[in-house]
Amino acid sequence: MVLKNLCTITIPEGVKCELVGKKVTITGPRGTLFRDFAHTHCELEMVGAEVIVTVWFPRGQQKSLPRTITAHIQNLITGVTKGYLYKMRLAYAHFPISVNIVDNGATIEIRNFLREQEVRRITAQPGVKIEISKEIKDELIITGNDVEFVSMFCAQIHESVKIRHKDLRKFLDGIYVSHRGTQ
């Protein structure tokens, strides 16, 4: 039986980490991100410039908990230092999809999808910006600091134009993620 399972993560220069109980606040050049791990059964502590995540007497899935939490903290650090950038492509066979960006890049309106009259409006979480690419036709660029908000917004866009009750091998129209990474 394993006594404890732990994982450490080093906080880089220029990034400030505050740890209050199981609440982590990361501040960097691009802003501040917050994450609450109160629902987990683990210990978080700061030692110098390192965060140590420890689980005592882990069983089953609890063994993977320290690595999962350090990966979440690493995503917060990447978000406040570099930021996240996703690119989406509009794919259509006959009826061109029309996209409008409103509310200073916080809401997207999708029109003329498969010649439907319905206007689909998707609003982004705070901190997520969307713009239309100037170099490549029919490409959307979604940026933000929180990877979960950016990826969730892309998933909402993709799900809003999902084709139902038709042969998916033939009807390939939609909006798809073509690139995901950092800025």
What are the strands of the beta sheet with 16-20, ordered from one edge? 16-20, 23-28, 31-36
- Per-residue pLDDT 10s for the chain (183 aa) are 789 999 999 999 999 999 999 999 999 999 999 999 999 999 999 999 999 999 999 999 999 999 999 999 999 999 999 999 999 999 999 999 999 999 999 999 999 999 999 999 999 999 999 999 999 999 999 999 999 999 999 999 999 999 999 999 999 999 999 999 999
Q: For residue 152, give Cα distances in angstroms to 9, 98, 131, 143, 169.
A: 26, 21, 16, 12, 25
Q: Give, in words, the CATH class of 84-182.
A: alpha beta
Whether the pTM exceeds 0.85: the reply is yes
Q: Give, in words, the CATH class of 4-82.
A: alpha beta
Extract the tokens encoding 181: 């990474």
Sequence ranges of the domains in the chain: 4-82, 84-182
Q: Check if 4-82 and 84-182 are the same fold.
A: yes
